[in-house]
Structures are given as structure tokens and as C-alpha cells.
Amino acid sequence: MRVLVVEDEKKIASFIQRGLKEQHYAVDLAYDGEEALALVGMNPYDLIVLDVMLPKKDGLSVCKAVRASGNDVPILMLTAKSEISDKVAGLDSGADDYLTKPFAFAEFLARARVLTRRKKTGKTPILKVADLELDQVTHSVKRAGKSIELTNTEYALLEYLMLNANNVVTRTMISEHVWNDDFDRFSNVINVYISYLHNKVDKGFPKKLIHSVRGAGYTLKE
């Protein structure tokens, strides 16, 4: 999952980014409204965390502009304002949810999970391909009932492959959803992590699930 956090207070932005990364999200940061719209125009996001009070262009204007472009990405608005009228304004601008600062990070994560889950098809947190299972709530992974321990990046990569099971995903698609905006897509890091997953997911099993597609990318299928 790739998230854009739009927050002009850099300490808060860094705190949110760090917490989301620990939960296997790839996170980009924007510190003003214009930068946020530029990033949204360039990258596909699974969630936007959007502060209301921003320089250059405020959060309500950003939200309206995102929706006017036809983008239905889930948007979670953050603000220090707690009046009902402020919440209504945020929701009316196109936001999906609204959280008042300061907030408990556990609640923030719960709301983020709900919004990203709504966006997915199937509405189930369990992804299955053959005898491979991934639980998007507990982040546990099993194959043939045997637990597989993965790092944060390995988990994020496997989740993306399973969400796109039976389809070929390119290196660019993987870099945009699994790594951050400053990732060098021409490096061999993706190859390395695909190899890690091969060893953890396929090694010892007669049926291989992760496949390289020459000149195209990678696919996970039975």
C-alpha cells in the first residue's frame, strides 16, 4: 500500500511516516497543497492523509481538486479543529473520514485500514493463492499451514503481488506501490527482494507461485 501524507508540520509528518512504515506502508510526504497535487498527479496512491491547514493551498481545496479530477482515492483529513461545522466542511469537500489532532496513533491506523479495505475488491482481509495465505489485518503469512516470517518490505511486496494475482506487474508498478517516491527503479533491489520471496515462499514446494516474466515484470499465480 502506498500512502501520501500531506502535513506542513515536519515533526508530525515524520511521526506519521515512521508509524506507517512500521505497518508495511510505502509513504511519500508533501508539506504544502501544491506539492500534494503534483504528487497525486504523478503517482497512484491507496490512501491520502491530508491536513486541513496547509501553505499555498489548503487541504479542503486539495481535496476538492483531487475529486474534481475523477480520483476516488480514500482521503483521511487531519485537523486541529474540532467543531462539527469544520468536520462537515471536510466531508463535503470529498474526504472519506476526519480525525482531530491530537489523536491516538492506534485509532489513526484503524481508520487507515478501514479506508484502504473499502477500496479493495472482495472486502476480505485474507488473500489466498493456491495454498498461500496472507492476512492483511494480522500481517501473518502461511503456506500449506506453515508460517512464513517476512520483513516489512518482503511483506509489502508479497501483498502487492497477491492483490494482483494472475496479472503481470512491472518493475515500475512495484516501485510505485511498495517503495517510496525517492526509490531508484533502475537499481536491482526489486530483483533482490523477489529472490528473497522465492526462497521463503516457494523453496521446498513442488509448485512455484512467483514467476518472472521476461521483459515484462513478475506475476504470482498457481
Question: Could you say which of 70, 94, 119 is where a domain stops?
Answer: 119
Residues 8 and 115 in one domain: yes
Structural domains in the chain (count): 2
What CATH number is associated with residue 49?
3.40.50.2300
176 and 208, same domain (yes or no): yes
User: What are the residues whose beta carbons fall under 8 Å from the beta carbon of 179, sequence distance 6 or more?
Assistant: 26, 153, 189
C-alpha distance from residue 75 to each of 115, 154, 207 (Å): 8, 26, 40
Which of 119, 153, 181 is the last residue before a domain boundary? 119
Same domain, residue pair 132 and 115: no
| CATH code of 164's domain | 1.10.10.10
Give the strand pairing for 217-220 and 210-213: antiparallel
Last residue of a domain, one of 95, 119, 143: 119
Do 164 and 59 belong to one domain?
A: no
Same domain for 180 and 95: no
In angstroms, the CA 44 to CA 173 distance is 9
Q: Are 89 and 155 members of one domain? A: no
pLDDT of residue 122: 47
Alpha-helix residue ranges (DSSP H) falling in 95-188:
105-119, 152-163, 171-178
pLDDT digits (tens), the chain, 222 positions? 789 999 999 999 999 998 888 887 889 999 999 999 999 998 889 899 999 989 999 999 999 999 999 898 999 988 876 666 766 777 778 888 888 888 888 888 888 887 887 665 545 568 899 999 998 777 889 999 999 999 888 988 998 898 888 888 888 778 777 776 566 666 788 899 999 999 999 998 989 999 998 888 899 998
Per-residue confidence (pLDDT) for residue 195, from 0 to 100:
93
25 and 108 housed in the same domain: yes
Residue 20, domain extent: 2-119
Q: What does the pLDDT read at residue 1?
A: 77
Q: Does 170 lie in the same domain as 135?
A: yes
Q: Residues 34, 62: one domain?
A: yes
**What is residue 187's predicted lDDT score, i.e. its pLDDT?**
76
Residues 72 and 179 in one domain: no
Q: Both 6 and 73 in a single domain?
A: yes
Residues 25 and 50 in one domain: yes
Q: Which residues pair with 28 in a beta bridge?
A: 4
